[in-house]
Structure 1
Amino acid sequence: MLVGLIWLLACQLVGEVVVRLTDAPIPGAVVGMVLLFVVLRWRRTPDSAPVIRAGDYLLGHLQLFFVPAGVGVLAYLGALRAHALPVLVGMLGSWLLAIATVGWAVTALIRRRGGETGPAPEEIE
């Protein structure tokens, strides 16, 4: 478990260093996550690897990671109230953009697959 946590933290640290050195406008944690994904896919890591077990354990307690975000929302409630319209417009816009992106990606994947979408609901009976 400790080895897996070290892997996770090392990838995050490398991501932070890369972002600081390149002055990239991307969070270091995201770069570290992509790096971890590449390493895991490249090495074809088995499910019994320490990093996979550590990740599964952390995912089992994912709800605890939302506590700091909830505290932050409560701490900045006054600022959120003062800027409610821009925040709501930003949230709605990003939601619509995400739905459009997912729809576009699914459509592109279906076309790439040759138009096979599976049996129609009436054909399943």
Structure 2
Amino acid sequence: MLIGITVLLVFQLIGEVTAYFLNGFVPGPVIGMAMAAVALTLTGGVKILRPAHQQTIDTSKVVLANLGILFVPAGVGIIQHLDLIRDSGLELLAIVVLSTVITLTVTVWVFILVKRLSGGYAND
């Protein structure tokens, strides 16, 4: 498991360094995760790397199985600020609903625009 954690952390480090040089355009963990996925896909058949490959896969499964524990701090924060939620709950709900509707609307508009620009709608 130590090898698997090391491999995952090395890819996260590489992702963070890459994100730094890209001025934060894409988050480092996302870059590292993509690089790890590509590397694990490509090294699956390499005999000398097979033990590290399998340990990384096994470690990833354990991390994903326990991912819920990462949400505990957020839950504690919500409980600690129940008075704020009680006082501003309606405003928070309105903001969440409004931002969701705006995001969905903009997404649809962008999709339609891209489809039209790429010739996806022949009848328009």
Tell me the TM-score normalised to structure 1 length: 0.60
Superposition pairs of residues 113-124 of structure 1, within 5 angstroms: none
State whether structure 2 residue 61 is matched by structure 1 residue 56. Answer: yes
Provide the C-alpha distance between the structure 2 equivalents of 1:70 and 1:91, rounded to a whole number of angstroms. 22
Q: Give the drift of 1:56.
A: 1.2
Q: 1:71 to 1:15 in 2, by over 3 A?
A: farther
Structure 1 Cα separation of the partners of residues 26 and 56 of structure 2: 24
2:25 match: secondary structure: coil
Higher radius of gyration, 1 or 2 = 2
**1:88 corresponds to which residue?**
97
Q: CA deviation at 1:34?
A: 0.5
- RMSD over aligned CA atoms reads 3.2
Note the 1:59-78 alignment, pairs <5 A.
Answer: 59-74=64-79, 78=84
What is the match of residue 20 of structure 1? Answer: 20
Instruction: Give the superposition deviation at 1:75.
Output: 6.0
Match of 1:5 in 2: 5
Q: CA deviation at 1:93?
A: 5.0
Partner of 2:34: 34
Q: Kindly state the Cα deviation for residue 26 of structure 1 after the two structures are TM-superposed.
A: 1.7
Post-superposition Cα deviations, 1:59-90, rounded to whole Å, max 9, x if no partner, equal 221221211332454567748x4752333323
Cα separation, partners in 2 of 1:57 and 1:14, compared to 1, 3 Å: same
Question: TM-score, normalised to structure 2's length?
Answer: 0.61
Please list every run of 5 or more consecutive structure 2 residues that lacks an aligned counterpart in the other structure: 109-124
